[in-house]
């Protein structure tokens, strides 16, 4: 669900070029990977116990 929206946004950004700007407001939760401490966005359709489908912030 959320990953489909991210893919759509990525296509729009690629179409408009590198110099385009995009502002996104995300209201939700985040969670760091316990080993690497890399933060992830946790959409409603992703479990914090399985970060493979989460959205990496860095």
Average pLDDT of the segment spanning 19-46: 88
pLDDT computed for residue 44 by the predictor = 85
Average pLDDT of the segment spanning 1-8: 79
Instruction: pLDDT band for 45, please (50, 70, 90 cuts).
Output: confident
Q: Is 30 helix (H, G, I), strand (E, B) or coil?
A: strand
The strand ranges marked E within the chain are 29-32, 39-42, 55-56
């Amino acid at each position: 669900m959320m990953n489909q929206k991210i893919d759509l946004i990525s296509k729009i950004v690629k179409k408009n070029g590198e110099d385009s700007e995009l502002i996104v407001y995300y209201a939700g939760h985040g969670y760091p990977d316990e080993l690497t401490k890399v933060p992830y966005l946790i959409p409603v359709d992703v479990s914090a116990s399985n970060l493979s489908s989460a959205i990496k912030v860095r």
